[in-house]
Chains A and B, each alone.
Chain A
Amino acid sequence: MDLSVVVPIFNEEESVPLLYRAITESIATSSMTYELILVDDGSSDNSYAVAAQLAAQDSRLKVIKFRRNYGQTPAMAAGIDNSSGQIIVTMDGDLQNDPRDIPILIDKIHEGYDIVVGWRFNRQDKLFSRKIPSKIANWLIGKVTGVPIKDNGCSLKAFRADVIKKVPLYNEMHRFIPAMASIAGPRLAEIRVRHHAREFGESKYGLSRVYKVLLDLMTIKMIASFATKPLVWFSLLALLPLVTSTILMSTAILPVFLDEDMSIPIAGTGLIFFTLALFLIVGGAIAELIVRTGTFNAADYPLMTSTLDEVGQETKTETQANIQEPND
């Protein structure tokens, strides 16, 4: 199968039929074999029934029903895990993304990119509660992760399946897929996509996620930097307390040789920092053990995106942000 379109659905009963029609129409023009996967994320309305009805008539429509609401990332992960296409396109179920953009994204993948990210350049959302926080967040994510993407929050993305299937997706990581995938050095493109104002239902996000995004961002940064060499990373961290402790200990002990009193609080503080240094080194050793026993294999990542040329040397395209206009 060439293409899998994964759409998480949460309380979108009005949108589902429209979405189904729009997606089928947009792909019908190409000769690709495809499947459409709707993941019902524990909706409390009729979304699942509506989708199931459509699926009864079209075998290319696959519907996955969650037992309860798990959130957008698990929904995407479930869709991706159950997909069989070579290319995977993800998008929102609320019709704010335009399915007509799917072929443009796919063309980009065919050009040789591993990940193509949509950029909602004329975003139809509230300025203060959505657009401004999003601008700041995107700037920060770009700075911290080093993957300069203008719109991380846009769900309309296309992936080569063998890349995305290896990226761990959990918590609220869908926002950071490009950053997570950047461990593998994928060829990344960002293209402008259409964005529509919400027609049905309620927006499911609020400002409260800022704290979570920040914490997730920090975690990703750290994991991305130490996942392949935790002991080295933790040992480097241990250096600072080790130096502090050496200084404190010598300040406390040296006077003893001059027949003066040893300062107990200073010596104690030195000892405390020494334990921290030891703790971090031991922690690094445990981290090494975790990485070794986990399913994560450092060699998988570069091999996913590297190519062998005729001479047998590995070449890899630099991560780049390439912007293309939709042609309408």
Chain B
Amino acid sequence: MTNRIELSVIVPVTYGQQDSTAAATEVAALAKDYLAGLDSVGKSFEILFIVDGDKPETFDALSQLALTEQRIRILKFAKAFGDATAIVAGFRNSSGEIILTLPASPQVSSQAIPDLVAGLENTDMAVACRSDRVSGTSDRSKNWRRRGFHWLVRILSGERYSDLGCAARAFSRKILEEIPLYGAHHIFLPLLAAKQGFRVTEVVVKVHDSKPKSGGYNAKFYLQRILDIFTVVFLVRFTKKPIRFFGMIGSVTFIFGMTVLSYVIFQRLFFGTPLADRPALLVSSLFTVLGLQVFALGLLGELIIFTHAKDLKEYTIEKVIN
């Protein structure tokens, strides 16, 4: 190696991208766009395209570019594994101290690249937030869905973000070294990083000037992301104390069940109301049992933590002197 790479750019070309001549041209155009943006940063860089699955046209178009541009590298998956895996694979094959993930669709203008890298000055992670997402786009229903989504994130995690859908993020290499990424957790990387004590900022960037895609996200996408939020929030808040989470749900259910159950039994004992034909008996015992089960699950969770406590480090060390 003659000169060390300072900045590694990871562009996952995943399931969102169709493999057609048009899509291939779009990605190639985008690559050129990014190269221009990266040149203006003034750091030595590499740009890794992760072609997720069988996309011959896109792959060919990118290979064509790689012939003339040494700094373009392509990693091709044999089958589609999704964004998070693509990012991790790209990360493992990269060497820059700064990692920059960029979307393979025209989301942000190339000017965003120097802005994001500059935003990393005093922080560990700079998250792009598209300028039109701050002011609101013309599509009302999309605005509402996006606001609802981020509101939910804020309520559940206590962290405020305005554009988690934007994949453009610059961060320090340490973040991916410490955070295991899988499933759809790449969307919530800022949350996970903040939880580990990294400083995260949002940088407002310009939107790519090509026409926005008409499709956007559908309801299924949002439903999946909402389920992802619950997973991430659980991981972030209760990983080390499952009993506090399960115990709360379990005891509320149990207490409700027990109250109704004792009322029913009380009536049977002192007023002679026959138990045999009361559905309330069924309902209350169901709740009691459910509460106990949830509680038992919490105990199992606690046992997992206990038996692995020596491997799962709860803390992250920034520096050690001597």
Residue contact B318 to A269, C-beta cutoff 8 Å: no
Asked, given contacts A64-B317, A67-B316, whether A59 binds B322 with beta carbons under 8 Å apart, the answer is yes
The smallest beta-carbon distance between A188 and chain B, in angstroms, is 21
- The answer to whether A265 touches B279, judged by C-beta atoms less than 8 angstroms apart, is yes
In the bound complex, CA of A67 to CA of B321 (Å): 14
Of A273-281, A302-310, A312-320, the segment with at least 4 beta carbons within 8 Å of chain B is A273-281
Smallest CB–CB gap between A252 and chain B, Å?
A: 8
Query: How near does chain B come to A206, taking the closest CB pair, in angstroms?
Result: 18
Which residues of B sit under 8 angstroms from A67, Cβ to Cβ?
A: 196-198, 316-318
CA distance A234 to B240 in the complex (A): 22
Which of B31-39, B145-153, B221-229, B282-290 interfaces with chain A? Answer: B282-290
Chain B residues whose CB sits within 8 angstroms of the CB of A291 once the complex forms:
303, 307
**CB of A126 within 8 A of chain B?**
no
The contact string, 1 if C-beta is below 8 Å from chain B, for chain A 35-71, is: 0000000100000000110011001111111111010
Measured CB to CB, the nearest residue on chain A to B317 is A64
Q: Which of A71-101 contact B (CB under 8 A)?
A: 73-75, 77-78, 81-82
Q: Is the interface of A mostly helix, strand, loop or mixed?
A: helix
Q: Which of B286, B306, B320 contacts A64 (CB 8 A)?
A: B320
Residue of A265, A293, A296 with highest tally of chain B CB at under 10 A: A265
Cβ distance B290 to chain A, nearest Cβ, rounded Å: 9
The contact of A265 among B281, B297, B302, by CB within 8 Å, is: B281
Q: Which residues of A contact B320 (CB under 8 A)?
A: 62-65, 82
A286's partner among B289, B300, B308, B313 (CB-CB below 8 A) is B300
In the bound assembly, the distance between CA atoms of A66 and B224 in angstroms comes to 34
Asked if B71 is at the interface of the complex by the 8 Å CB criterion, the answer is: no
Judged by a CB distance under 8 angstroms, whether B79 is at the interface is no
Task: Report if A266 contacts B (CB, 8 A).
Answer: yes
Cα–Cα distance between A73 and B241 once the two chains are bound (Å): 13
Asked if B307 and A275 sit within 8 Å, CB to CB, the answer is: no
A200 interfacial by beta-carbon distance below 8 Å: no
CA–CA, A59 and B322, complex, Å: 6
B288-321, CB under 8 A of A: which get 1 and which 0?
Answer: 0100110011011011111111111111111111
Instruction: Report Cα–Cα, A294/B309, bound state, in Å.
Output: 9
Docked CA distance A126–B17 (Å) = 64
Which of B277, B308, B321 interacts with A295 by CB under 8 Å?
Answer: B308
A169 at the interface (CB under 8 A from B): yes
How far, in Å, is A213 (CB) from chain B's closest CB?
Answer: 12
Q: Enumerate chain A residues within 8 angstroms of B311, measured Cβ to Cβ.
A: 295
Q: Could you say which of B240, B277, B297 contacts A283, with CB atoms under 8 Å apart?
A: B297
A245-272, CB < 8 A from B:
263, 265-266, 268-269, 272
Stretch in A22-30, A113-121, A219-227 touching the partner: A219-227
| Bitwise interface map of B from 9 to 35 toward A, beta carbon under 8 Å scored 1, else 0 | 000000000000000000000000000
Q: How far is the CB of A162 from chain B (nearest CB, A)?
A: 14
Asked if A294 and B276 make an inter-chain contact with CB atoms under 8 angstroms apart, the answer reads: no
Q: B277 near A168 (CB under 8 angstroms)?
A: no
- Size range of the chain A interface in the assembly: 35 or more
Roughly how many angstroms separate A70 CA and B307 CA in the complex, as a whole number?
21
CB-contact partner of A55 in B247, B276, B300, B321, under 8 A: B321
Most buried by A among B243, B276, B303, B309: B303
Contact B281 A77 (CB under 8 A): no
Any B CB within 8 A of the CB of A230: yes
Q: Is the CB of B243 within 8 A of A215?
A: yes
A62 B276 Cβ-Cβ under 8 A: no
B285, A269: Cβ atoms under 8 Å?
yes
List the B residue with the shortest CB-CB distance to A41.
B315
Chain A nearest Cβ from B241, distance in angstroms: 5
Q: How far is the CA of A296 from the CA of B303 in the complex (A)?
A: 10
Q: A170–B314 contact, CB under 8 A?
A: yes
Determine if B322 and A266 form an interchain contact, defined as CB atoms under 8 angstroms apart: no
- Is the pair B289, A52 in contact by a Cβ cutoff of 8 Å? no
The minimal Cβ–Cβ distance linking A179 to chain B, given in whole angstroms, is 13
User: From residue A173, how far is it (CB to closest CB) to chain B in Å?
Assistant: 9
Q: Chain B residues near A78 (CB, 8 Å)?
A: 315, 317
CB distance from B262 to the nearest CB of A (A): 14
Q: Which of B210-262 contact A (CB under 8 A)?
A: 240-241, 243-244, 247
Instruction: Return chain B residues, CB-CB under 8 Å to A129.
Output: none
Interchain CB contact under 8 A, B319 and A65: yes
Contacts of A62 in B (CB 8 A): 320-322
- Inter-chain CA distance A253–B241, complex, in Å, is 43
Question: Known contacts A55-B322, A67-B317, A294-B308: does B281 contact A266 (CB below 8 Å)?
Answer: yes
- Nearest first, the 7 closest Cβ-Cβ pairs linking A and B are A294-B307, A68-B197, A67-B197, A168-B309, A263-B276, A74-B315, A296-B307
Q: List 29 A-B contacts (CB under 8 A).
A: A51-B321, A64-B319, A64-B321, A66-B318, A67-B196, A70-B197, A70-B314, A73-B314, A81-B313, A82-B320, A170-B309, A170-B312, A222-B299, A222-B302, A223-B306, A226-B303, A227-B306, A230-B303, A263-B276, A269-B281, A269-B285, A273-B289, A276-B293, A286-B300, A290-B304, A291-B303, A294-B306, A295-B308, A296-B307
